[in-house]
Amino acid sequence: MPPTLLWLLLAFNAVFAQETLPSQDNVTDYAPATNVECPDLSTSSLLREWSPQNQTLHPAETAYVDSRFNTTIQSAWNEWLNSSALGYNVSAFQGMFPKVGIAAPGGGLRAAQYALACMSGIDARNASSKAAGTGGLLQTASYMTGLSGGSWVLGSLVFNNWPTAPDLVYGNGGNLSGWKLDLPFVSPDGDDVFSENNQYFYGSILWSVISKANQGIDTSITDPWARMISYHFLNQTSRDNFFTNSTAHGAGQLWSEIPNIPAWQEKTMPFPIVVADVRPANDNSTGQLGLSPTVYEITPFEFGSFDPQLSTGMNLTYVGTHLNNGKSENGSSCVTGFDQAGFVMGSSASLFNQIFDFANNELQSFGGYDSQDSNSLVYVLQRQLRSVRTRDDDVANWPNPFQGIKSSTYEDTNSTWLSLIDGSSNLENVPYGPLFVKARNVEVIVTLENSADDPNNWPNGTGPLNTALRLSTLLRATHQQFPPIPQTPDDWVSTGVRQRATFFGCDPTQSPPEYPMVILLPNAPPINGDNPVTNSATFTLTYPLLFTQLLMDQVHSNTISGFTPNANTPDPNFGLCLQCAAVDRARLKTNPVTPRSSMCTQCFKQYCYDPNNPPSESELPNRKLIFVDPTPLGLSKLTGFLSTNKFKLVGGLIGLVAFIAIFCGGLIWWKRRQDRRLEYEEVNEYHDDADTMGLWRGQKQYSDLHAEQYELQPGR
């Protein structure tokens, strides 16, 4: 038994041994309020339904997007575009600029950092981006979507008042404390989970989750996960107060309260949307999700979907309320405060399902263990996998507000609960769906693509290809179509489009255009031939500061540089070329149509993907594909242990699984106690296990390793 894992498992006992919960703090603000008077449902509905043929946006969304477009965004375009160099008379566009959306894909902390650095490369507030001509695109965005790790950067920007990238990630010495990614998610005080500080941390997290469970709301592994995310991505947590109960650590910050944030009121932020998938109730499989289940979106106003089968939005303020046919199951009583920012981000990043599948497969594929240590590790993990699998503890539990709605088309119309899972579960790792909704009329989609598709964690088009397929089959009537792209991952690789900025959909044939312009800003090896540090593994959950700095700088440099064919130097015209791509749709709205300028025509030859004349990877020489860890001494003891034991698992994965093991045990125990109020008795069969493993057994009748150690006994 590896000592570290054992400590992790033991930590729970210590946490739960402390029975009395003092209530002097506000991490309990994580608990939703359950007995809130519902609005008068006879005059107003919490649900907004539309037909697929006649989609409507929430009026408050339209109001925000329009008024931002007419004010802030107009000046942003005028400040960004270098009209003389572009060869356009920008005034002739008469303010009919394209509507821009930005998509931040999933991929854990790599994705969050990549998206942030890439955004900094197109941010007018960054001097070098501004000088390169790329800085300014960010300010034109009407929408931004995020999924999984991409939802963390989105939520973090929004709830910290839309700061610059360096202020957000490193802190500003004032009210922003940085992401603190050098503090491990799982055990922020270091490998010794028994340390006083780690114990405080687990205690505070569990206290939050328990306060939610106390309201009678089903919790799951996503809840402690959501709380851990909040310590890094929401404000209120600094290095000084990390291990204290002196602030709420992000608890109580609600997605529906985004409109109170100053940057919203000043209209400096795009309209934020988080994407999550669902495992439908009738889907028994534990493997890959298909493309047909509903894809959900969470805006500051609604939880819902524009997928034709649902076409309904639920008032986000009341989203914890279980509705049946639009009526509260609890009469006039509703739930508020369920839409915790951390929980929204945690739901979108609820990838435990995949982790367990992955871990299970990986573990099974390791046949001959020679060390006793690895045997017991595998043994413990497998028991955890079993205990989690059957209980829906690996999903985010959302009360279904759509029960009884759209009964002829909606697959979860009979479900009381929705099992939300990671937004990438259907292989659409880029949160494109909301941006293609016809009613939103987005004309330019900027993709901060850093999906870890190939073995070196570089993207290979898997996400866009799956979205294109979903759009052209299930969503034909309700969504715009994807522009032409290489048709297989192999083609994405051989054309090189995944390794440098590429514009898709440059030459639509219809008016209005049959698809938006898609600008791809992919995670790629440094153009100068340096070793890459930006393709770290998705499950790496600790980044030493130096690592973060190198990653941010490499991404920044690639983002502002474009590429020069057959060379390792930046393209001095890339800034202008990005402007050409972003503004191109405006030409088509003038009467007569403004011809493309010669500058932009030249740019498009280099950066547009033309399916009839595809480019080649060979134009991108000397690119190094293999990740080189810039901070090898920064490895945690746990990772070190695993590498010496030759576990070829994705970095950090085991740490995460161990963490999950801890919390699942406690949560399952807690939930059962809540639900049934029965006593537990240790099963003799497991006594011996526990003894050989040296597990702590206190004076209580139960230990809290995990539920399999107990059997329900009828209450005495």
Ligand X SMILES: *[C@@H]1O[C@H](CO)[C@@H](O)[C@H](O)[C@H]1NC(C)=O
Residues numbered 132-151 forming contacts with ligand X, rule: CB under 6 A = 133
How far is Cα 519 from Cα 510, in angstroms, rounded to an integer?
19
Nearer to ligand X, 89 or 375 (CB): 89
How far is Cα 504 from Cα 499, in angstroms, rounded to an integer?
14
Residues numbered 205-234 forming contacts with ligand X, rule: CB under 6 A = 207
Size of the site for ligand X (CB under 6 A): 62
How far is Cα 507 from Cα 484, in angstroms, rounded to an integer?
10
Q: Which of 37, 42, 284, 613 binds ligand X (CB under 6 A)?
A: 284
Residue 39 contacts ligand X per CB under 6 A = yes
CB of 601 to ligand X, least distance (A): 16
CB of 164 to ligand X, least distance (A): 4
Q: Which of 445, 264, 229 is nearest to 350 (CA)?
A: 229
| Closest residue to bound ligand X by CB | 203
Q: Which of 355, 552, 668, 707 binds ligand X (CB under 6 A)?
A: 552
Nearer to ligand X, 235 or 376 (CB): 235
Nearer to ligand X, 204 or 220 (CB): 204
Nearer to ligand X, 92 or 712 (CB): 92
Q: Which of 19, 37, 42, 91 binds ligand X (CB under 6 A)?
A: 91
Q: Which of 16, 97, 301, 563 binds ligand X (CB under 6 A)?
A: 301
CB of 541 to ligand X, least distance (A): 21
Query: What distances in angstroms separate CA 252 from CA 241, 273, 452, 475, one per listed residue?
Result: 17, 19, 33, 36
Site string for ligand X, 481-500 (x = CB under 6 A): --------xx--x-------
Pair type for strands 502-504 and 517-520: antiparallel
Query: What distances in angstroms separate CA 619 from CA 209, 255, 450, 496, 610, one per listed residue?
Result: 53, 45, 21, 8, 15
Q: Which of 3, 250, 71, 112 is nearest to 555 (CA)?
A: 112
Q: Which of 89, 288, 333, 616 binds ligand X (CB under 6 A)?
A: 89
3-class secondary structure per residue, 148-213? CHHHHHHHHHHHCCCCCHHHHHHCCCCCCCCCCCCCCCCCCCCCCCCCHHHHHHHHHHHHHHHHHH
Piece of the chain touching ligand X by CB under 6 A; list 120-128, 223-231, 362-370, 658-666 = 120-128
Q: Which of 124, 133, 136, 92 is nearest to 577 (CA)?
A: 133
Pair type for strands 100-104 and 141-146: parallel
Residue 145 token pair = 């979507």
Q: Which of 74, 195, 235, 247 binds ligand X (CB under 6 A)?
A: 235
Amino acid at 314: M
Residues numbered 148-207 forming contacts with ligand X, rule: CB under 6 A = 159-161, 164-166, 175, 200, 203-204, 207
Residue 324 contacts ligand X per CB under 6 A = no
> Which DSSP state fits 494?
H
The verdict on whether omega for the bond into residue 595 sits within 30 degrees of 0, i.e. cis, is no
Pair type for strands 271-278 and 417-421: antiparallel
Nearer to ligand X, 73 or 642 (CB): 73
Q: How many H-runs (helices) and E-runs (strands) does the chain carry?
A: 23, 18
Q: Which of 113, 140, 142, 245 binds ligand X (CB under 6 A)?
A: 245
Q: Which residues bind ligand X (CB under 6 A)?
A: 18, 21-23, 25-26, 28, 39, 44, 50, 54, 56, 60, 66-67, 70, 82, 85, 89, 91-92, 120, 125-128, 133, 159-161, 164-166, 175, 200, 203-204, 207, 235, 243-245, 253, 261, 282, 284, 301, 315, 317, 411, 413-414, 453-454, 460, 462, 489-490, 493, 552-553, 556
